[in-house]
Amino acid sequence: MHAGLLRDVLTLAVGVVTGVLSAAFGVGGAVVSTPGIRALGATAFIAVGTTLPSILPSAAVGTARYLREQLIDWRWVAWTAPAGIVTSVGGSLLSHSVPGHGHWLMMLTAGLLGFTAFRMARQPDAEVSGAAEAEDALAEPASARRDTPAALAGVGAAAGLLSGLLGVGGGIVMVPGFTELLGMPLKSAVATSLACVGLFAIPGTITHAALGGIDWRFALLLAVGVVPGARVGAALTLRAGARRHQLAVATFLGVISVVYAVGEAVALARR
């Protein structure tokens, strides 16, 4: 689709949906905006970088809402974010070296999303199990706890690498990493992940911009749309039951993984 009023309106709509899902699931929202602007005419290579600037306002709005509810664990942010910021730069640089003009990056994203959805749908109620494990952790010596600085930095490093490499914000790693590996309740994991996602997007945006990988018309329109969407997404999350929210996250990621895989497989077949 060529640039024009219709494409701009559709891009704003994609931004609103992106903001809702970013705040609701703590994933940065690029899992929606990336295929969204691909459908509107952006190349796979440009789509990876262009979504990163739109992560910043949605993450800021969602984080502010969760902050008022005291759902963010700032100790986890302090250990996770620095590692992710460093590796997000490396991922951004690496994205320009991967063959396939960005299509294989999208296929990798689809596989990661599908695996995450499968694991999350099978696990027990994250809010209940996470709270129980958190209480048990209080009785454990510090050396036995799973939320050690090294573990948090490891999750952050993996999330930051994929944030820069795939332009997906890193939340698709942090949310399951925080809940499944480290035992955090799901709503707190979403809130803490979103705070980290906003920090990860800053160096990734700068790096992709320096390498000419951002379409700023797309980026600005997405950024305008995500702000009201993020407010809605955060409100929906705070009202949802734990198990319902968990299944919603798993279903959402599973659907997006199929969309990614089919779309990019078709694009590769046409090359």
Tell which residue, 54, 94, 78, 5, has the closest CA to residue 229: 54
Given pLDDT bands bounded at 50, 70 and 90, which one contains residue 74?
very high
CA distance 161 to 213: 17
Given pLDDT bands bounded at 50, 70 and 90, which one contains residue 132?
very low
Dihedral of alpha carbons 147, 148, 154, 157, sign: positive
- Site of tokens 């295929």: 35
Provide the terminal-to-terminal Cα distance of the chain, rounded to the nearest Å. Answer: 19
CA distance 150 to 166: 24
Q: Is the whole model's pTM more than 0.75, yes or no? A: no
Helix (H) or strand (E) holding 262: helix 242-270
The DSSP letter of residue 102 is T
CA distance 207 to 28: 18
pLDDT reported for residue 153: 94
The DSSP letter of residue 145 is -
Which is more confident, 241 or 191?
A: 191
Inter-residue contact 243 to 31 (CB < 8 Å) = no
Each residue's pLDDT tens digit, 163-205: 777 666 677 778 878 887 888 888 888 889 888 888 877 887 8
pLDDT reported for residue 124: 60
Each residue's pLDDT tens digit, 79-128: 999 998 888 888 877 766 766 656 676 677 677 778 777 776 776 654 44
Lowest mean pLDDT among 119-123, 127-131, 236-240: 127-131
**262 CB-contact burial (10 Å; exposed 0-12 / middle 13-18 / buried 19+):** exposed
> Phi and psi (nearest 5°) for 155?
-65, -45
Domain count of the chain?
1
pLDDT reported for residue 150: 92
**Which residue range forms the structural domain that includes residue 215?**
5-270
